[in-house]
Structure 1
């Protein structure tokens, strides 16, 4: 779906790994302040798509642009400095550093590249934003799983991204943690952030996303409002099989 004033544009993106086509001719735009869900069955190419937007993989074909500037040929650190921040399916923290130091790393290497006391003060403000400032001097090894996720999110936010990519950020949480996580993302959405989230938790998709892009076997099969997409027969068939569609 073409979005007016797109911040992020994905155009005819294909990714091949040898003879395997993981993503095939994907195109979608994300408008400023929009929250878009990328959904689909396991193995449909969602994380590969996120990896290409963030620069982990280079596309085999196609173009990805941020505010009209080509980023699909850039290294991950360059894309991060241009303003694309992400979290990972499996939390990736710097184990030898404290909570505060992990988040300061995001400020130092992020979009605005803050240093010294400025980076420290900004890291504290971001930790407060995610409810973790009281544990700023704790080692990350002492944290619960959801608190590790919060620190990783804070580190990403400390980079001040123009586009925030959440790759199954809610995965692995118990029901209480899930409620906390959804509320946190909802608050980020209400701040007007531009967010792309890969997610399997349909309650989160329904309550958070303005639009959904649905992938199946590497290709886009639907793109539209969340309500329309989740009632689409092709989408139901992709998730549940022909007998349930």
Structure 2
């Protein structure tokens, strides 16, 4: 049986009277590409924030490869092996692409320095489609290329679990196909990935299993095709015609 890479047990997070994540549990296996989906405002990004340490859960626990990480500060969780991208790209704008990626290698799970970090940065920038653009300032790059740099930076630490928060958002159709192929390649390398995504074609083609959240609750978990055909999931996305 494949080992569990990440376990979320009864996670809860409230902001005043709003419960953004309400007693959510799931497990992600090592080497799995796992989908976390749901309509806007369902709590998906809050869940990623709990896993990465940007937020602390009010209750429950999150365990990474046998180590409880819930409650740790974000930089310690990164060193344990969690890396992520963001809905809105977060860059080091005064630096070029190479040095943005080197920052991920220096401060993350697998810590590289000097020539090793530079070599890894060049390899990862080539992987995401930015070969030859290592010394371009990220502030001068298009939004799509900034997203590629951010992904390379997340990969630079060789994370145990990679969190992708709507990484495919904003891509045109040709870029979307390239993005799906890139994520598939990362999965084929054996990486453990949790992806929040609204592009259902990507979820269908990439993920074997997924969790659906709605209003902070987990409403369904299982194989992607079965989950997406579930009436409660369809209603969560499309609404009930009787309410029109």
When normalised by structure 2's length, the TM-score is: 0.97
Q: Give how far 1:178 is off.
A: 1.1
The answer to whether the 8 Å contact 2:7/2:26 transfers is: yes
Segments of 4+ moved more than 2 angstroms: none
Counterparts of residues 31-70 of structure 1 (less than 5 Å): 31-70=29-68
Cα deviations across residues 142-179 of structure 1 (Å, max 9, x unaligned)? 21222111100000000110000000001111112111
Cα deviations across residues 119-150 of structure 1 (Å, max 9, x unaligned)? 11111111122121310011112212221111
**Residue of structure 2 aligned with 1:110, choices 108, 111, 117:** 108
Counterparts of residues 88-107 of structure 1 (less than 5 Å): 88-107=86-105
Q: Give how far 1:215 is off.
A: 0.2
RMSD: 1.1
- Of 125-134 and 163-172, deviating more is 125-134
What CA distance in whole angstroms lies between the structure 1 residues aligned with 2:117 and 2:32?
A: 28
**Residue of structure 2 aligned with 1:194, choices 192, 208, 214:** 192
**Residue of structure 2 aligned with 1:26, choices 13, 24, 27:** 24
Name the residue aligned to 1:243.
241
What CA distance in whole angstroms lies between the structure 2 residues aligned with 1:209 and 1:49?
A: 18
Q: Which runs of 5+ in 1 are unaligned?
A: none
Counterparts of residues 120-199 of structure 1 (less than 5 Å): 120-199=118-197
Q: Give how far 1:4 is off.
A: 5.2
Q: Which runs of 5+ in 2 are unaligned?
A: none
Matched residue SS, 1:134: coil
Name the residue aligned to 1:230.
228
What CA distance in whole angstroms lies between the structure 2 residues aligned with 1:31 and 1:218?
A: 23
- Of 171-180 and 196-205, deviating more is 171-180
Q: Give how far 1:243 is off.
A: 2.1
Matched residue SS, 1:85: strand
Matched residue SS, 2:159: coil
Name the residue aligned to 1:219.
217
Q: How many residues align?
A: 242
What CA distance in whole angstroms lies between the structure 1 residues aligned with 2:165 and 2:132?
A: 26
- Of 56-65 and 122-131, deviating more is 122-131
What CA distance in whole angstroms lies between the structure 2 residues aligned with 1:148 and 1:4?
A: 34
When normalised by structure 1's length, the TM-score is: 0.96
